Amino acid sequence: MRQLLQDLFEKRVNQFVSDKRSHKIFFPKAEIKQASLANRSAEIVKVKAAGKILEESTEDEFQAIKYQAHYQYLIKQNGILYMEEETEERLAKFYKNALVMDEEIRPTLDQDEILETESNIVALENQDNRFSYEYNRLKAVQYAEHWWNSYNPAYKKFQNDCTNFISQCLHVGGAPMRGYPKRDAGWWLQRSNWSYSWAVAHSLRLYLSNSNSGLRAKEVSSPDQLLLGDVICYDFEGDGRFNHNTIVTGKDGYGMPLVNAHTYNSRKRYWAYEDSSAYTPNIKYKFYTIIDG
């Protein structure tokens, strides 16, 4: 089974590169990736991939293998080359040694249980004193580059880790914590306790929109206005509840943001997430540039 999976994995990798594609193999992930790149006048010129077995199980004549795939795409666009990376977990099932299913295990995105209101956040903000800091964008980006596919043991790890990861990047960049021990106030992490804004996607979005002390940001109207170290918030369903965050770590050949993230562990991914399995036509974005305190 492992060899069958390895053979299929190697064949699928070639589907990402235009001049190596086979019409005999259909891999939706590669098709979506190719279409997304074509819309940006970009192409993958080389791809490397590695697989890692995470779990194996057997029930009657069915066998299941859970594995992680790590992709590295060398992308050419407007005369420049850059490397994008991502990982995903997949589940393959076999029946009598024949592959019958192989699909992505989609991460569960934030579904907030805390329904904060912007008016409550503003009221809490008015009670705080102003913190002085200078945001070091380089340090924030360096941290995002180092930890995009691993977890710093100095911080708590969350099942849905995207917002925790962004908060770590911002904090390493110099943004000060404040508000402890009120979980619905400020932005902070203390050992096994944290504010909702530190770890919950929608709460961080509300905090960035309303904070006038400590970590502060200004909403801008378009992604091309963002700088390295800035934040993008995603509402995949367009229902008003934001469930993912990323940090800008680079720019593509046309000056548009490339981002790093957890949950969907990725590096130098195009900001719009059109190639993500979480993407829907109803997606909404918020763009925040971090300002010094």
Cβ count near 147 (within 10 Å): 18
- Determine the average pLDDT of the residues in 255-261: 99
Cβ-in-10-Å burial (0-12, 13-18, 19+) of 77 comes to middle
Tell me: the pLDDT tens digits for 228-247? 999 999 999 999 999 999 99
What is the predicted pLDDT for the residue at 110? 61
Residue partners of 134: CB distance under 8 A and separation at least 6? 174, 292, 293
Choose the weakest-confidence range: 11-15, 160-164, 201-205. Answer: 11-15
Taking the CA atoms of residue 21, residue 267, residue 269 and residue 136 in that order, the dihedral angle to the nearest 10 degrees is -160
Cβ-in-10-Å burial (0-12, 13-18, 19+) of 39 comes to exposed
Question: Considering the entire predicted model, what is its pTM?
Answer: 0.92
> pLDDT grade, residue 10 (50/70/90)?
confident
Which domains are delineated in the chain?
2-104 (no CATH), 118-291 (3.90.1720)
Cβ–Cβ under 8 Å, residues 105 and 278: no
C-alpha 209/C-alpha 197 separation (Å) is: 11
